[in-house]
Amino acid sequence: MVIVGAQWGDEGKGKVTDLLAERADLVVRFQGGNNAGHTIVRDGEEFKLHLVPSGILHPGTMCAIGNGVVIDPKIVTDEIDALRRRGIVTGNLRISANAHLIMPYHVFLDTAGEAKLGSLSIGTTRRGIGPCYADKSSRLGIRVQDLLDEKILRKKIMAAMEPKRQLLRPHAKDPALDLHAMTEEYVTYGHRLEPYIADTAKLCWEALDSGEAVLFEGAQGALLDLDHGTYPFVTSSNPIAGSACVGAGVGPKDIDDVWGIAKAYSTRVGSGPFPTELEDEVGDRLRERGGEVGTTTGRPRRCGWLDLVALKYAVRLNGMTGLVLTKLDVLSGIDPIRVCVRYRGAEGATFEEFPYHQSVLHHATAEYEELPGFTEEIGDVRTEDGLPDAARDYLRYISDFVGVPITLVGVGQGRDQVIWVGDEEARTLRAA
Ligand code: GDP
């Protein structure tokens, strides 16, 4: 089963994966880097994870960071240390030997690249992820397995830095970019990470071949996809479901289910088009009630109404079999609720489908359907029947519009604050 973001990321994938991880034998991350931040609240305790899959909180679940992820070894070792300090066992973690490493020069290049773009900047998290994927494509990447051989590592770093000399010139004297110091530092990470390094694709095959439940955990969301998102305001990898195959090393036929996670409204971090953005008190209310501040960056998120044109696009791109709607509780007290059902272009044309042309999207305004809101607090509701009529109608409207059943609804931060729709819980349990 694949779990993906159906919007611009931050949809609450962490909580959903955590919930499903309990029922899975193996959880695998397949793309992105430490630009993804998951917040999981368990028994009132908050865990922030950037690289380690959410399944780590379940001692019986194996967790893998797949080949498609880019890894900052400092971040992953810090994350392992922090988890261990809080009594979480990390012996069930595996890291792909083929995953690419974020190097200090990637971080410098990311920052320099964004600064150069000025007002056109993409709003990257400046963690070196884009430049790392670029090196991977240029075949200049350094992989996790290279950490285990100092000589090879040094040679590869030298080769990777050579074409960047000019760009790195302003930082030439920075100790972080010294070849020997860098090699030494990374060899040390290698020693630390060695027990975790493995052939994670093989781990997936073994689990699949013996009928175990494997959960592929995506980061970011469909509209940030490098190929299908709002390019160039996108992430540097493919967060859609098909990418799980590439980033973990399995085939399309290995996937039975694809669940997309969407909020009951929309948010976006960083720059780029966002047709349903609200710059009024409703937007402020969503931001406040929804706690819409980035896990990784601390940046306030842009907030707006649910965009069904974009969501329908995400459904198709991912071949979604189920939709999870999180944060329904945040809409309580907002009446009416609006949902975007089409866009209107600058020249008056209407668009029922997500426009492929960048200029059209940049100038598109959202057209809305108004639905009745609800005032009840729903944090304690655990069944569909227990929801106010307006909330139930809202769910039905969304599901009918995008043509995918809603399987799970989030009504609060806590992991128990969910509503399983229909017999989805029984079905998921059976599948596991
Ligand atoms: P992710 O990257 O997709 O996992 O999303 P984040 O973790 O960045 O953001 C999701 C935030 O929403 C976290 O703080 C979650 O605890 C919180 N959250 C998840 N589901 C719900 C929900 O149903 N209701 C509310 N109020 N908060 C939720």
**Residue of the nearest CA to atom 2 in ligand 1?**
10
Q: Tens place of pLDDT for every residue, the chain, 432 residues?
A: 999 999 999 999 888 988 899 889 999 999 999 877 777 777 778 878 889 998 888 888 999 999 999 999 999 999 999 999 998 989 999 999 999 999 999 999 988 766 666 666 766 678 899 999 999 999 999 999 999 999 999 999 999 999 999 999 988 899 999 999 999 999 999 999 999 999 999 999 999 999 999 999 999 999 999 999 999 999 999 999 999 999 999 999 999 999 999 999 999 998 899 999 999 999 999 999 999 987 667 789 999 999 999 999 999 999 999 999 999 999 999 999 999 999 999 899 999 999 999 999 999 999 999 999 999 999 999 999 999 999 999 999 999 999 999 999 999 998 899 999 987 776 676 666
Mutate to test the pocket of ligand 1, among 4, 326, 387 (most ligand atoms within 8 A of CB): 326
Q: Is 38 a catalytic residue?
A: yes
**Ligand 1 centre and the CA of 221: distance in Å?**
14
Q: Write b or e for each residue in 175-206: b if 16 or more Cβ atoms lie within 10 A of its Cβ, otherwise e.
A: eebeeeebbeebbebbebbeebbbbbbebbbe
How far apart, in whole angstroms, are the C-alpha atoms of residue 50 and residue 38?
6
| Residue 96 CB partners (closer than 8 Å, separation 6+) | 64, 65, 66, 67, 69, 144, 197, 198, 199, 200, 201
| CA nearest neighbour of 337 among 374, 307, 300 | 374
Q: Which two tokens stand for residue 259?
A: 């669940």
Q: Write b or e for each residue in 249-272: b if 16 or more Cβ atoms lie within 10 A of its Cβ, otherwise e.
A: bbeeebbebbbbbbbbbbbbbbbb
| CA nearest neighbour of 432 among 12, 17, 21, 5 | 21
41 lines ligand 1 (CB under 6 A): yes
How many other C-beta atoms are found inside a 10 Å radius of the C-beta of residue 174? 12
Q: What is the pLDDT of residue 295?
A: 67
How far apart, in whole angstroms, are the C-alpha atoms of residue 426 and residue 432?
10
Q: Let me know: does 72 contact 59? Beta carbons within 8 Å.
A: no
Q: Let me know: does 163 contact 135? Beta carbons within 8 Å.
A: no
Q: Is 280 a catalytic residue?
A: no
Kindly list the distances between the CA atom of residue 136 and the CA atoms of 133, 141, 337, in Å, as whole numbers in the listed order: 5, 5, 44
**Ligand 1 centre and the CA of 18: distance in Å?**
11
220 lines ligand 1 (CB under 6 A): no
**Ligand 1 centre and the CA of 16: distance in Å?**
9
Q: What is the DSSP letter of 301?
A: P
pTM for this model (two decimals): 0.94
| CA nearest neighbour of 411 among 328, 292, 345 | 328
Burial class (CB in 10 A: 0-12, 13-18, 19+), 364: buried
How far apart, in whole angstroms, are the C-alpha atoms of residue 260 and residue 404?
10
**Ligand 1 centre and the CA of 413: distance in Å?**
6
